[in-house]
């Protein structure tokens, strides 16, 4: 059975993952309102992925005999000044989440909860991938700058991403 303390920090992370999902859904909507449907769909996939992260954490808690208590989800930002700003904030947000996951690993190791540490390693690897993929988008957006043909092509490329539930 999971400790009360570990249960508490994972419970907090469920909320953080739901907040990420809410934030990306807000960003997706901002893109939709500006007819950037490729970016909107990329962000929608991102939101679905974060929702999946929250339920993965919840399922783990339940599997370990823990319990979850849902907290209110903070209101996400809903307006930005440019597509680059949205993508840059996504990158910053993911870096912050990586820090949160690292804190969870520290907590698991501190109490020698090897099962939780093992579970969390999936998220450690996921963060490496997330930071790399959004980092690449940031770099491409900087290359494009104010070039509308570039933005048009980038929107098409972003639209190719589809969310699929990862195999367990
Ligand atoms: Fe996540
Ligand atoms: Fe993420």
Ligand 2 centroid vs 89 CA: distance in angstroms? Answer: 12
Domain with 136, as residue range(s), is: 4-72+80-158
Task: Please indicate, yes or no, if residue 65 is contained in any of the structural domains.
Answer: yes
pLDDT of residue 45: 97
Task: Please indicate, yes or no, if residue 165 is contained in any of the structural domains.
Answer: no
Ligand 1 centroid vs 134 CA: distance in angstroms? Answer: 13
pLDDT of residue 47: 98
Average pLDDT rounded to a whole number, residues 128-156: 97
Cβ neighbors of 66 (< 8 A, separation 6 or more) are: 1, 2, 6, 7, 10
Task: Please indicate, yes or no, if residue 49 is contained in any of the structural domains.
Answer: yes
Ligand 2 centroid vs 127 CA: distance in angstroms? Answer: 7
Q: What percent of the chain has pLDDT over 70?
A: 99
Count of structural domains within the chain? 1
CA–CA distance, 154 with 131 (Å, rounded to integer): 19
Ligand 1 centroid vs 20 CA: distance in angstroms? Answer: 7
Residues in the 5 Å CB sphere of ion ligand 2: 130
Average pLDDT rounded to a whole number, residues 75-90: 98
Whether the model pTM is above 0.75: yes
Q: Quick one: pLDDT band at residue 164, thresholds 50, 70, 90?
A: confident
Instruction: CATH number of the domain at 116, please.
Output: 1.20.1260.10
Task: Please indicate, yes or no, if residue 167 is contained in any of the structural domains.
Answer: no
Task: Please indicate, yes or no, if residue 144 is contained in any of the structural domains.
Answer: yes
What digits encode the pLDDT tens for the residues 16-33? Answer: 999 999 999 999 999 999
Average pLDDT rounded to a whole number, residues 124-134: 97
pLDDT of 157 > 70? The answer is yes
pLDDT of residue 168: 67
CA–CA distance, 71 with 48 (Å, rounded to integer): 19
Average pLDDT rounded to a whole number, residues 123-131: 97
Average pLDDT, the chain: 97
pLDDT of 162 > 90? The answer is no
pLDDT of 54 > 70? The answer is yes
pLDDT of residue 89: 98
Ligand 1 centroid vs 160 CA: distance in angstroms? Answer: 21
Ligand 2 centroid vs 20 CA: distance in angstroms? Answer: 7
Task: Please indicate, yes or no, if residue 166 is contained in any of the structural domains.
Answer: no
Task: Please indicate, yes or no, if residue 93 is contained in any of the structural domains.
Answer: yes
Task: Please indicate, yes or no, if residue 154 is contained in any of the structural domains.
Answer: yes
Ligand 1 centroid vs 35 CA: distance in angstroms? Answer: 26
pLDDT of 90 > 80? The answer is yes
User: Which sign, positive or negative, has the C-alpha torsion 148, 152, 157, 160?
Assistant: positive
């Amino acid at each position: 059975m999971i400790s009360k303390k570990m249960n508490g920090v994972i419970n907090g992370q469920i909320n953080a993952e739901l907040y990420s999902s809410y934030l990306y859904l807000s960003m997706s909507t901002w893109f939709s309102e500006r007819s950037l449907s490729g970016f909107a769909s990329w962000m929608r996939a991102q939101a679905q992925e974060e929702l999946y992260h929250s339920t993965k954490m919840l399922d783990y808690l339940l599997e370990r005999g823990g319990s979850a208590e849902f907290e209110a989800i903070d209101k996400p930002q809903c307006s930005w000044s440019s597509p680059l700003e949205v993508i840059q904030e996504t990158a910053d947000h993911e870096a912050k989440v990586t820090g949160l996951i690292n804190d969870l690993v520290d907590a698991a190791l501190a109490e020698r909860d090897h099962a939780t540490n093992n579970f969390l390693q999936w998220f450690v690897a996921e963060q490496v991938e997330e930071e790399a993929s959004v980092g690449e988008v940031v770099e491409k957006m900087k290359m494009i700058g104010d070039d509308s043909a570039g933005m048009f092509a980038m929107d098409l490329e972003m639209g190719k991403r589809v969310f699929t539930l990862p195999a367990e």
